[in-house]
Copies of this chain bind each other. A is one copy, B any other.
Amino acid sequence: MEMDLNAQVKKACFLQRLKDFPSKLKDGVTKRIKHVQKFGKDDPRRIIHSIKVGLSLTLVSMLYYVRPLYNSFGVSGMWAILTVVVVSEFTVGGTLSKGLNRAFATLIAGALGVGAVHLARLCGHKGEPIVLGILVFSLGAAATFSRFFPRIKQRYDYGALIFILTFSMVAVSGYRTDEILVIAYQRLSTILIGGTICILVSIFVFPVWAGEDLHKMVANNIIKLANSIEGFDGEYFPSSEKTSKETNSSVREYKSILTSKSTEDTLANLARWEPGHGRFRLRHPWTKYLKIAGLVRQCAIHFEVLNGYVLSDAKAPQDFISKIQEPCSIMSREAGEALKSIAKSIKTMSRYHVCVNTHIKNSKNAIENLRLALKLSFPETEKDLLEIIPGVTMASTLIDIVSYVEKISEAVDEFSVLAHFKENLDPKLSPELGQHHLLHKGTVKPVLEGDNEEECNNSPHVVIAVHDEQPPTVNENNVNLGAEKTTVVV
């Protein structure tokens, strides 16, 4: 009886599942389609790249479809197809790197292969395969070994692979054919056709430049740092204006920077293959981005430690925290603003050093205030000393971060000269600079927040501009103009 009931239940379940299957399948398929759509929308360049590959394939198929072309190249046309599929990379740099590597490696290995076949023929019919075998073995092994060297691996890995491939093919197939030169010529020319189609499509149809990606990535990583430090302020001092929910997402933005090194290295490597484009000249200092990115990562490492203090249960007592809150908040905010200005400077490729230096100076002033606050909150007992340690170490990490922000600013400043950033004298400040030479006279000129919003937005401080009525002298270096201004944070 029970068995019977059990079987009935099972049957009902099975029928229900069978009934649900179409709708479940439909749900699943819809979900998949939506996922794919979202993935494409996230970066539409992916869709464009796919269409570009399809286009190159269609163009190269003409070698087969068009009778006169097929008559001259024959089945060698498939090497063009192979080249298109293998050489089509997402970025222009990737395509150029692979295309040029393939072309030159084929040329050199093809010539050597033809030479090897002629050499082997001198050794008679029996000696021929032995000589060819020895040559293929030794050159193949040597080229494989060369691929381990970091410098070759980085730039010519694909070339070495194609060298082995072409040399082996030409040398070995030369044993069975007398038309080796014709075959080599057809193969080389079809590879050149395929490579040229790829490179042209890559450069002229919605190009994706590795250099531009690297440029944007470095700037965006700096913005991530800025968001993280501002988010940290809101999370560690929850009494701040921002709600904790708002900051929660931004405070962990730095995490992706910790593991971005390999992407940056690859992009910098590919960028060096690219011709000048847009704002970037031919010999743009691509490797300098890696230096800045390294400092940004060092800074992110300190954020990881800072994040440990946010998540930790062992926090300093509330009254101690409230004492150091103000200078810490100002430090975070000003460091964040400095980072944003640096990122803006990179993004627009113009120099904002006045603005950046002002913010860095403000955050350094806040460090002094923090020291003062620490002095004032001198612990009364030994127990208190132990209790405030988490707060003290947090503040110390924050100071380290400010010093890294300064290092990043210096590196970007140095880079901006090499990369020919355009000079950007603050539109609000520069006329002033032209009229009065800034020195020591003591007129206090409060600047309204909206006034220099475009340059140093969201920074509620009063600039005490110290004027002099002598005619202005030209600052030749144009560096550290902002350092001459005394800024009081309110």
A interface residues with partner B (beta carbon < 8 Å): 39-40, 46-47, 49-51, 53-55, 57-58, 61, 64-65, 70, 75, 77-78, 81-82, 85-86, 88, 129, 132-133, 136-138, 140-142, 144-145, 148-149, 161, 164-165, 168-169, 172-173, 175-176, 258-259, 261-262, 298, 301-302, 304-305, 308, 371, 374-376, 378-379, 382-383, 385-386, 389-390, 392-393, 396-397, 400
Contact = CB atoms under 8 A, between A and B. Distances in A.
A46 B298 contact: no
Contacts of A86: 161, 165
A339 to B, nearest CB: 19
B304 A168 contact: no
A353 to B, nearest CB: 26
Contact of A132 (B61, B136, B308): B61
Contacts of A382: 375-376, 378
B142 A50 contact: yes
A476 to B, nearest CB: 31
A304 to B, nearest CB: 5
Given A304-B298, A382-B375, A78 B145 contact: no
A238 to B, nearest CB: 22
Given A81-B172, A145-B47, A382-B378, A137 B57 contact: yes
Nearest to A63: B172
Nearest to A304: B301
A389 B386 contact: no
A149 B39 contact: yes
Contact of A82 (B46, B55, B165, B259): B165
A116 B27 CA distance: 30
A394 B164 CA distance: 54
B55 A168 contact: no
B39 A148 contact: yes
Given A392-B393, A396-B390, A137 B55 contact: yes
Contacts of A133: 58, 61, 65
Contact of A302 (B81, B305, B376, B389): B305
Contacts of A58: 133, 136-137
Contacts of A57: 136-137, 140, 164, 168
A484 to B, nearest CB: 26
Contacts of A40: 145
Q: Which of A144, A376, A400 has the most CB of B within 10 A?
A: A144
Nearest to A400: B308
A65 to B, nearest CB: 4
A85 B396 contact: no
Q: 6 closest pairs, A vs B, by CB?
A: A54-B141, A50-B145, A54-B137, A375-B382, A50-B141, A262-B262
Contacts of A302: 305
A185 to B, nearest CB: 17
A164 B305 contact: no
B389 A64 contact: no
Contact of A164 (B47, B70, B85, B390): B85
Contact of A168 (B61, B258, B262, B371): B61
A85 B139 CA distance: 12
A140 B140 CA distance: 32
